[in-house]
Amino acid sequence: MVGVVKRRGRLLTLEPLFHRGLSAVLTPGGRVRFEPGDVIAAGPGRKGFVAWRRIGRPDSARDVVEALLVERGHARSYPRAAEREARAVARSPHGRAPRVDLRELPTFTIDPAEAKDFDDAISARVEGDGRVRVWVHVADVTAFVRPGGALDEEARRRATSVYAPGTVEPMLPHVLSSGECSLRPGEDRLAVTVELEMDEARVRKARFMRTLIRSDARLTYDQVDRVFAGRERAQEPWAEPLAAARRVARALRDRRRRRGGLEIDSAEPRFEFDAEGRVRAVTRERQTESHWLIEELMVLANEQVAGYLEDHRVPTIYRIHERPDLDAIERLADQLASIDVPTPPLPDRLSPQQAERAAGAISRRVAAYARRSGRGREAFPGLVLRALKQAVYSPRNVGHSGLASSRYCHFTSPIRRYPDIVVHRALLQALGLDDAAHPASELPELAIHCSAREREAMEIERDADDICLAFRLEDIVAESWSQGGHANAGGPCFEGEVVGLIERGAFVRFGPEGFDGFLPLRRLPGWYDLNELGTVLIGRGAGARAIRLGDPLKVAVERVDPPRGHVDLLPAWDL
């Protein structure tokens, strides 16, 4: 149990931090020292709950995020046997497989500024005939993590890294994840490389090999975008390879659009913390050309590996995204029409292939409409995604609908995803470079496990974002009040957008930071009915108004509960 220590007379109790529930009586003494107001983790003992870890204070966003990870079952440490094995293999990786030495090849990574685990690196050059040769280098984690060991067992159990604001729960111990496996600049690293001879977006020839590489530059997305915009000059030795990679990525992106791939324009929050663990600032990061460059090249490498394994009938785990249900796409078109968003015309009866292409066409039309009109940029991507099925892992390949790809797997992030390790082992065994592939009988259960762990990680990351956003909002509201009163009882007002509707009210995203809150209908005059499509709250009575998905809405903050990531709103328009 994770909670806040409270004093109740002579007793110390533990009040749940993340949900409402019964408090537990704490047993005094023990090895963990704490005081009232602390956030701790405790478990049942003989005479009450016994603290086993002091986490921090409830007014520190970083401490509350740490508490969330602990509460969701992340011990924040590794079994001793796994740690020992990681330290040993970091000094001496397994095997002495022959490797192609590519250390003289100009190579670079592009990652977020705060990243420490660099899974992949890129090399590219224009050949004499004008075609481009691309190398996608991926950390050779299988040289460090062998089947059956304590390290592999723990990595398999975790199945994925969890990235929360200000911290990470890595799948592999730090000595590997941000150390010997990470493709850091200026250091020799073991890799598995996909070499691709390209003719615009067409792969003329692919080669897979174990390699030794050395990255020349650790670039960030922001830095590359500045180069692309002409605000910064690219440096040698990575200037020409970056330009060549950009040319290929643009061709790949154009082809994916023509094939009917999805286009989802969404933004992710990025947080800055001060020394005390408080959220100092929030910015929103949208995908830019630098992101698309890496995404397209990684997708290309993943497709080539999946195709090779399927062609050679090698059992593995694919990343699949099934075609959308026909009814779901028809409903999506009806939902958008109900709020006056233009969509491509649909035939009277959709085939599965038509539904797949329609989903891509709708996503592109909606993204363009939102950019042009400024309406629904927050709401409409979620509406499109809810009409689609969720991508999962499976030993049976059915293609990836969202990417318009017939054969796809996860290969390019083995430091942070266990399915990528499975794929590496299958590929290397098929190439005669290793003998550690997972037996086919293991794959169905392993795919289910990895899919479930991925969903759990996504939920934790989403909840942690909500917590940090709520902490920042609480500070903004407090700062605003300290500078003077407000006519509105809810404090400062914000411009927002309706991103979801239920019978009880509206979910609103507001402010440049992208805060989320709930506006209950009991705070509005009149009474409301939600239409059948869930896109409009139809108001009746004096002062009532229609509230549509994607509409702008002015709101004020009534209450913020940071540890639970909850924000209650008030209307701030003229009623």
Residue 292 exposed, middle or buried by CB count within 10 Å (0-12, 13-18, 19+): middle
- Taking the CA atoms of the chain, what radius of gyration do you get in angstroms? 26
**pLDDT tens sequence across 293-322:** 999 999 999 999 999 999 999 999 999 999
Mean pLDDT to the nearest integer, 80-95? 92
Looking at the chain, the number of H-run helices and the number of E-run strands are: 12, 26
Q: 408 and 378, same structural domain? A: no
Query: Based on the domain organization, do 31 and 111 belong to the same domain?
Result: no
Nearest 5°: the CA angle 52, 55, 61 is 155
Please tell me the pTM assigned to this model.
Answer: 0.94
CA distance 411 to 307: 12
Note whether 167 and 312 are same-domain residues.
yes
Residue with tokens 């969701």: 72
Domain boundary residue, one of 349, 369, 386: 386
- pLDDT tens digits, one per residue of 194-228: 999 999 999 999 999 999 999 999 999 999 999 99
Query: CA-CA distance, 563 to 469, in Å (whole number)?
Result: 10
Report the 10 Å Cβ neighbour count for 501.
21
* 67 found inside a domain: no
- Region 244-250: mean pLDDT is 98
The yes-or-no verdict on residue 459 having pLDDT over 60 is: yes
Residues 181 and 205 in one domain: yes
Q: What percent of the chain has pLDDT over 70?
A: 98
- For 152, the domain range is 80-322+390-467
Residue 555, in any domain of the structure: yes
Are residues 42 and 127 part of one domain? no
Number of domains in the chain: 4
Pairing of strands 39-44, 49-56: antiparallel
Question: Is there a single domain that holds both residue 522 and residue 492?
Answer: yes
Residue 480 placed within a domain: no
Residue 165 and residue 314 in one domain: yes
pLDDT, position 485: 54
Between residues 486 and 556, which one has the greater pLDDT? 556
Residue 188 in tokens: 């020799």
What mean pLDDT is predicted for residues 451-465?
A: 98
With respect to residue 71, please indicate whether it lies within any of the assigned structural domains.
no
